[in-house]
A and B are shown apart, each in its own frame.
Chain A
C-alpha cells in the first residue's frame, strides 16, 4: 500500500500553478472553493428548475400527457432532492466558504484540504444521484423516501439506491464542511473578535454547522438501514411482514429533516441580517436577541419533528406536545422578523437589488411562517397535510425565504468575489420577475390545497375546480424561469464590461469589505484587530460612529507597514488528494449498485488518498 500510494504521489506531482483548470481542481483556497460551490450548485439549480418546469407543464391542464406517471414521480423526487441537497445547502456552503474567514479576519479555514474534500464529495454525490437517469431510472419515492415504498418488494429498480447512497455521500460532504467551520469559527477569529462581535452570518453558519453534525448521523443511520433492507442481508428495519415498522423511518427521517429545514433557512437569515443593516446604514437592531433567537431556533429544531407526522396516528398526547412545541418556534422567528423590521425603522434605506431581495425575503417569509401556523395545529393539518397547501407553505419558506436571500447574497457579495458590480437595472428586473413569478406560482397553491388537491399526483380530472389555478401556476413558473435567465444575462454581461467595484462598494460593515475585491489569496495582509461589532464600520466611522462622522478614506487592510504587502505570507499549497479521496469514496458507494468489486476498488483509492493526505505536508 505504502509503495503504491508513494508512487501515486510521485505521479501526481504537487500542483504549483495558480491559473488554469488544474489550479481550480486542486485548490484549497476557501474563496476559490466557495466559487466552485457556487457555480456547481447554480448548475444544479438550473437542472432542478427544469425538472420543476416539466412538472408544471404536466399539471398545467387536466389529464396532462407531457410525461408518464413513472417519470413524473422521478421528476418530483429529483426536483426536491436537487433543490434541498444540491442547491440550497451547497449554495449556502458557497457563502460559508467564501465569507467566513473574511468575516472573522482569518487567512483560511482550519482544514483547507478537508474543505476541498467536502466540495469534491459534493460534486461526486450530485453527479452520482443525477446519473441514475441514465442507469434505469431516477429515484421515484419522494425526497422523503418513506418506507416501505422504498423496499425491494415495492421498488425493484436501483433509483432508490442511487438516492440513498448519494445522500450518504453528500452527508459526508456536509459533515466535513461543518466540522471545518465549527473549528474555524471557534478557533480562528481575529484578535478582538469575540463571539458576540461576530457578524450575524458567521453566527448562523455556526448554528447550521452544529445542526448538521448532529442531524446528519441520524439520516445516515436511516439510509444505511434502508440499504441494508435492500441488500442481500435482507434486514427487516422497515419490513412490517417481519416485525419492522415503516414509521421508524419517518421518525429518523424527520429527526434529521426538521433540523434540515433550519439548515436551509438559517444561512438565509444570516445573509439578510448582513444586507439590511448595510443598506439601512444602521446596526442590526437587538443583535444579541437575533443571535439567541437563531441559536434557539436551532435548538428547538430538535423538538418538533413529529409535526410532519400528525396524520400518522401518533395519538392525541404526542400530537398535542408536538403542536405546542411547533407553535413555540414562532416566538424566536418573530423576534428575528421584528428585529429586522426595527433595523429598517429610522434607517436610511437604499433599495439596491440586494436590499430588494432581502426585503422580499422578509415579506415572503412572513407568509410562509403564517401558513405554517395553520398546519402547526393538527386538526387543521389533517386537512392540509399532503396537499398543495403544504407545497405552497414550504415554497414560500424555501423559495421566498432561502432562494430570495441567496440571490440577495449574490448581488451583495458578487463584487467582493469578482471585483465587478452586477448591473442594477437587470438586477431589479431579475427581482421583480422573480417575486411576481413566485407569487403566481406558489400563491395559488394555497387555494388548490384548501380545495383538496393532493401533492404528488401526476394527473387530475377536470371538474375538480383545479384547472384555473394550475394554469396560473404554470405561467408563474415560466416567469421565474425568465427571472433566472435575466440573472444569467446579468452575470455574463457584467463579467465582460461590469463596473469596477472597489473594495467597499456598499459602505459595508464587516471585515470582508476592508480588503480588495477580489481578495488576495491570503485575504488580510495584516490581521485586523477588532474593536466591536461591525468591525469595519467602526474603523470607518469610529466607535461611536454615524451622525455626521463621515470619513472619506476608510483604512484598508490591503497595504500597510511591516510585511503588509503580503509577499511573505505562506498559504497552504494545492493538493490532488482531496479529489482522489472523494472519488474513491464515491466509487465505494457506487459499488453497492454496480457490484461490490467496485466498492473494493473505491476503498483502495480512498485509503490510498487518506494515507497520502496524512503524509503530505501542508506545503512543500
Chain B
C-alpha cells in the first residue's frame, strides 16, 4: 500500500484548472450553497458595525474597550482571510472534482509529506502573529496606570453597589465618572458570582465572592453608557443592569457634593407623611443618610434616589408612575427580586413616591 505512487497536488491542480475552463456551467448544489454562506457571513459581520446601539462592542468609547476592539479587528482580519481562502478552496474542489461517471476511479493518493508540513506550519505562522499582540495586550491591560480615583463595586443579587472610598460616596446602579481620569475598580461580590460589564467602556471582569478583582476604565468623552451583569447569577440575572454617567470634571464634582449632602427633614407636611412611612417600612433594608434609623444594608441605598435615571437596577425609568408600580408590587416587575411586596395602601404609595423622588 505504501508503494503507491504519490501524485503531487500542485501538478494535479494545474491540470484541474486547465480542465476547469471546459467544464459545463452546472454547479453542484453544495458549491452554490457554500458560496452563499461565504458571502452571507461576511455581510452579516459588516452590517454589525452600525455603532448606534447602546452595548455595541465594536463602537468603543472607553480606552480599554478601544484597545480590545483594535485587537479584535486584527484577529478578525486573519480569520476572514483564512475563511475566504479555505472555504473558497473547498468550493472549488466540490465543483471541480464532482463525480462525472459512476465508473471513474481517481488516483489513490495517500499523502504528501511536504504539503502536510506546509499546512502545519502555515497555521503556526498565523497563530504566532495573533499570539504576539494578544500577550502584549494582556500585559498592557493589566498594567497599573496613573490611577486618579478608586471605586469599589459590590455585586448583589440583582443590583450594583458603588462605593467611592476617597470621596465618601455610596450609590447604587448608577455610576458617575469624571471624563479623562483613570478609574481603578475593585470588584467584590456580596453573594454569588457576577460579572461587571460596560461594553462600550471595557471588557467584562468577573465579580467573585471571596475575591477582589481589579479593572481599570478611562473614558475621554462624556455620555451615558449601559452596563449589565454578564455572569448567570440567578433568576433576575437579565435585569441586573446599571448605567455609567461620564461627566466633565466640574459636573462630576457637583454630583459628589450633592451625594455627600445628607437628606434634609422635609418641611412640607405631605412629604413628612411619606418620610415617616419610608422610615417605618423601608429602613430595615435601605439606607437613607439623614433619615433617622434608615441604615439597612440589604437593598441599595435610597439617599438621592430621586437623582437617578432608573430604578430596580436599570429596569424601569425613574418616573413617579414607575416608582409607584415598583413599590406596589416589586415581584410583578422583577419576579424573584429580594424586595417583598410591602402591602402599602394606594394612599401610602402616593405619599412615599413624591418623598423618594424629592431625594436628589
The answer on A and B forming one complex is yes
Chain A residues with a Cβ under 8 A of chain B? 68-70, 73, 140-142, 146, 148-149, 154, 240, 244-247, 280-283, 285-289, 311-313, 315-316, 319-320, 323-324, 327-328, 330-331, 334-335, 337-339, 341-342, 344-351, 356, 359-360, 362-363, 366-367, 370-371, 373-374, 376-387, 428, 432, 435, 439, 443-444, 446-447, 450-460, 463-466, 532-533, 538, 543-550
New contact pairs (6) apart from A342-B9, A351-B29, CB-CB < 8 Å: A316-B139, A345-B9, A351-B94, A379-B134, A451-B53, A533-B1
Cα distance, A246 to B213, chains bound together (Å) = 14
Which residues does chain B contribute within 8 Å of A246, judged by CB atoms? 192-193, 208-210
Which residues does chain A contribute within 8 Å of B13, judged by CB atoms? 345
- Sampled A-B contacts (10; CB under 8 Å): A73-B232, A246-B193, A286-B111, A312-B208, A324-B134, A345-B97, A376-B134, A380-B72, A386-B230, A443-B40
Cα distance, A452 to B107, chains bound together (Å) = 51
Q: Is A456 touching B79 in the complex (CB atoms < 8 A)?
A: no
Cα distance, A305 to B228, chains bound together (Å) = 26
Q: Which of A142, A349, A380 contacts B94 (CB 8 A)?
A: A349
Known pairs A148-B209, A283-B110; A323 contacts B131 (CB<8 A):
yes
Residue of A nearest to B76 (CB): A374
A455 to chain B, nearest CB (A): 8
Cα distance, A543 to B108, chains bound together (Å) = 11
Cα distance, A457 to B195, chains bound together (Å) = 13
Known pairs A331-B124, A382-B205; A374 contacts B199 (CB<8 A):
no
Which residues does chain A contribute within 8 Å of B1, judged by CB atoms? 532-533, 538, 543-544
Residue-wise interface mask of B (45-60) relative to A, using a CB-CB cutoff of 8 A (1 in contact, 0 not)? 1011010111111100
The stretch of B114-122, B168-176, B296-304, B320-328 in contact with A is B114-122
Q: Is A379 touching B141 in the complex (CB atoms < 8 A)?
A: yes
Residue-wise interface mask of B (82-120) relative to A, using a CB-CB cutoff of 8 A (1 in contact, 0 not)? 110011011001100111100111111111100110011
Residue of B nearest to A549 (CB): B105
B92 to chain A, nearest CB (A): 9
Q: Is A451 touching B107 in the complex (CB atoms < 8 A)?
A: no
Which residues does chain A contribute within 8 Å of B335, judged by CB atoms? 68-70
Known pairs A311-B206, A331-B127, A366-B87; A346 contacts B7 (CB<8 A):
yes
Cα distance, A351 to B4, chains bound together (Å) = 27
Which residues does chain B contribute within 8 Å of A338, judged by CB atoms? 116, 119
B105 to chain A, nearest CB (A): 5
Q: Is B53 touching A465 in the complex (CB atoms < 8 A)?
A: yes
Residue of B nearest to A338 (CB): B119
Q: Is A146 touching B135 in the complex (CB atoms < 8 A)?
A: no
Q: Is B202 touching A330 in the complex (CB atoms < 8 A)?
A: no
A267 to chain B, nearest CB (A): 22
Q: Is B111 touching A287 in the complex (CB atoms < 8 A)?
A: yes
**Size of the chain B interface, CB-CB below 8 angstroms:** 109
Residue of A nearest to B29 (CB): A351
Cα distance, A614 to B137, chains bound together (Å) = 60
Known pairs A70-B335, A331-B123; A351 contacts B30 (CB<8 A):
yes
Cα distance, A456 to B231, chains bound together (Å) = 8
Q: Is B45 touching A446 in the complex (CB atoms < 8 A)?
A: yes
Q: Is B116 touching A339 in the complex (CB atoms < 8 A)?
A: yes
Known pairs A330-B123, A370-B83, A544-B3; A447 contacts B139 (CB<8 A):
no
Q: Is A149 touching B56 in the complex (CB atoms < 8 A)?
A: no
Cα distance, A383 to B74, chains bound together (Å) = 15
Which residues does chain B contribute within 8 Å of A366, judged by CB atoms? 82-83, 86-87
A245 to chain B, nearest CB (A): 6
B317 to chain A, nearest CB (A): 11
Which residues does chain B contribute within 8 Å of A282, judged by CB atoms? 106-109
Q: Which of A289, A324, A455 contacts B116 (CB 8 A)?
A: A289
Residue B68 interfacial (CB < 8 Å):
yes
Cα distance, A286 to B114, chains bound together (Å) = 11
Q: Is B72 touching A374 in the complex (CB atoms < 8 A)?
A: yes
Which residues does chain B contribute within 8 Å of A381, judged by CB atoms? 203
The stretch of B236-244, B261-269, B283-291, B348-356 in contact with A is B236-244
Q: Is B68 touching A380 in the complex (CB atoms < 8 A)?
A: yes
Cα distance, A316 to B191, chains bound together (Å) = 26
Residue of A nearest to B93 (CB): A344
Residue of B nearest to A331 (CB): B123
Cα distance, A385 to B68, chains bound together (Å) = 13
Residue of B nearest to A355 (CB): B30
Q: Which of A327, A339, A454 contacts B127 (CB 8 A)?
A: A327
Known pairs A345-B9, A348-B99; A382 contacts B203 (CB<8 A):
yes
Q: Is B97 touching A546 in the complex (CB atoms < 8 A)?
A: no
Q: Is A348 touching B106 in the complex (CB atoms < 8 A)?
A: yes
Q: Which of B109, B192, B213, B230 contacts A154 (CB 8 A)?
A: B192
Cα distance, A453 to B13, chains bound together (Å) = 45
Known pairs A363-B37, A379-B137, A452-B199; A447 contacts B45 (CB<8 A):
yes
Cα distance, A142 to B233, chains bound together (Å) = 10
Which residues does chain B contribute within 8 Å of A532, judged by CB atoms? 1
Known pairs A141-B232, A546-B105, A547-B105; A334 contacts B120 (CB<8 A):
yes
Which residues does chain A contribute within 8 Å of B239, judged by CB atoms? 459
Residue-wise interface mask of B (237-280) relative to A, using a CB-CB cutoff of 8 A (1 in contact, 0 not)? 11100000000000000000000000000000000000000000
Q: Is A324 touching B131 in the complex (CB atoms < 8 A)?
A: yes
Cα distance, A286 to B110, chains bound together (Å) = 6
A128 to chain B, nearest CB (A): 23
Cα distance, A312 to B211, chains bound together (Å) = 10
B319 to chain A, nearest CB (A): 15
Q: Is B235 touching A73 in the complex (CB atoms < 8 A)?
A: yes
Which residues does chain B contribute within 8 Å of A459, judged by CB atoms? 238-239
Q: Is A458 touching B231 in the complex (CB atoms < 8 A)?
A: no
Known pairs A380-B72, A383-B199, A465-B52; A346 contacts B33 (CB<8 A):
no
Within 8 A of A (CB), among B216-239: 228-239
Residue of A nearest to B205 (CB): A311
Cα distance, A451 to B213, chains bound together (Å) = 25
Residue B149 interfacial (CB < 8 Å):
no
Q: Is A344 touching B94 in the complex (CB atoms < 8 A)?
A: yes
Q: Is A149 touching B55 in the complex (CB atoms < 8 A)?
A: no
Known pairs A341-B93, A366-B83; A383 contacts B65 (CB<8 A):
yes
Residue B152 interfacial (CB < 8 Å):
no
Which residues does chain A contribute within 8 Å of B209, judged by CB atoms? 148, 240, 246
Cα distance, A545 to B237, chains bound together (Å) = 62
Q: Is B142 touching A315 in the complex (CB atoms < 8 A)?
A: yes
Residue B34 interfacial (CB < 8 Å):
yes
Cα distance, A582 to B9, chains bound together (Å) = 53
The 4 closest A-B pairs by CB, nearest first: A382-B203, A452-B55, A465-B53, A240-B210
B76 to chain A, nearest CB (A): 6
Q: Is B50 touching A465 in the complex (CB atoms < 8 A)?
A: yes
Q: Which of A70, A346, A451 contacts B12 (CB 8 A)?
A: A346
Cα distance, A385 to B4, chains bound together (Å) = 49
Known pairs A328-B127, A348-B97, A444-B44; A363 contacts B34 (CB<8 A):
yes
